Amino acid sequence: MRDGFVVAAPCKINIHLRVLDRRSDGFHDLESVFQTISFGDELRVESLKERFACDVLMDGPVPPERNIVFKAVAAFRRAVPFDGGVRIQIEKRVPFGAGLGGGSSDAASALIALNRISGAELDVAALEAIAAELGSDVPFFIRGGTAYVEGRGERVFPIPARDDYHLVLVNPGFASDTGRAFALLDAARDSASVPANAGLSRDLLISSVRENPEQWPFFNDFLPVLERESPEYRRMIDGLAAAGALFAGLSGSGATCFGVFSTRKDAETAQLRLSAEWPFVKAAVPLARAGKAVLE
Ligand code: C5P
């Protein structure tokens, strides 16, 4: 057996995403329902003999030292006395700028792997605190599953998950820049050029997850703003609805949209149909179980 192990880094969708006003620090508080799904990256984690060594290997545009996984290793070392060397090879499947939290999930999975190989045995709350230093979406991924998320993303309330629906993801083949999406939303609000969605109470959001997706009251505040910029967003949402989705929405700040279907067959039929038009179309299911799967 090779040294090391593989840990899954499932991505997420935002079933619901409301953006509150810009704060004095420039960030925005959110009210969101997050859901991990059965699609994502994988991390192969190995120990190295050299103390403090950190190799992050990944094909892609980001140099290793700017990779969020590299930053996760540094943050973990600051939090606990751990000087072991590590090599983390990222099998990247989630597109960049997709609104699926690919990098954030990689970072959370790296923290979980380091917690295991260092023997530090930090609890979930301690891992979430390190995760919050790394990015707004990272704390959610420590547990995953279904959660109501508030603040910048650091207040995570797990809610009972369901696994009785199927998903189809559609990505238009371009990345969405999160900072730009927030700036567009601020500008639209300042000029009152898009109607504001009314907030939904936390209780309603949590109880609605159990409802028939056709009745879901969920929305994503970025969608009307991004739609004005790129016609692809409306085409993805309408295409999912025309392919039979019970609910269709935008994940994160784009650019991926998702549709909810009641059966695998319906999802596969929609996947086939949408693949004729879009470069990246995936079928997936919600992950009902929280926690990270160690795969080997
Ligand atoms: O979290 P991430 O680094 O992707 O955020 C990029 C930018 O998006 C931030 O610099 C900030 O301008 C904006 N942002 C925000 N409120 C959040 C998350 C991100 O305003 N909750």
Task: Please confirm, yes or no, whether 137 is among the known catalytic residues.
Answer: yes
Is 92 an annotated catalytic residue? Answer: no
What pLDDT was estimated at residue 18?
A: 98
Q: Whose CA is nearest to atom 6 of ligand 1?
A: 179
CA distance 14 to 34: 5
Residue 175 scores a pLDDT above 50: yes
Report the mean per-residue pLDDT for the chain: 94
Ligand 1 atom closest to Cα of residue 28: 16
| pLDDT tier at 290, thresholds 50, 70, 90 | low
What is the Cα–Cα distance from 84 to 184, expressed in whole angstroms?
44
Q: Whose CA is nearest to atom 20 of ligand 1?
A: 27
d(CA 169, CA 177): 19
Confidence of residue 1 (pLDDT cuts 50, 70, 90): very low
> Residue 64 Cα, ligand 1 centroid: separation in angstroms?
21
Note the pLDDT of residue 294: 72
* Res 272 pLDDT > 70: yes
- Distance of CA 268 from the midpoint of ligand 1 (Å): 34
Q: Which residue has the tokens 């090779």?
A: 2
Highest mean pLDDT among 24-28, 58-62, 168-172: 168-172
pLDDT of residue 266: 98
The answer to whether residue 210 scores a pLDDT higher than 80 is: yes
Pocket residues: Cβ below 6 A from ligand 1: 26-28, 30, 135-136, 152, 178-179, 182
41, 106, 137, 266: which one is catalytic? 137
Residue 3 has pLDDT above 80, yes or no: no
- Could you report how far apart the first and last alpha carbons of the chain are, in Å? 10
Read off the pLDDT of residues 118-150 as tens digits, 9 standing for 90 and up: 999 999 999 999 999 999 999 999 999 999 999
DSSP 220: B
pLDDT score of 62 more than 90: no
Average pLDDT over residues 57-76: 91
* pLDDT of 193: 84
Mean pLDDT of 180-193: 94
Q: Which one of 12, 92, 282, 292 is the catalytic residue?
A: 12
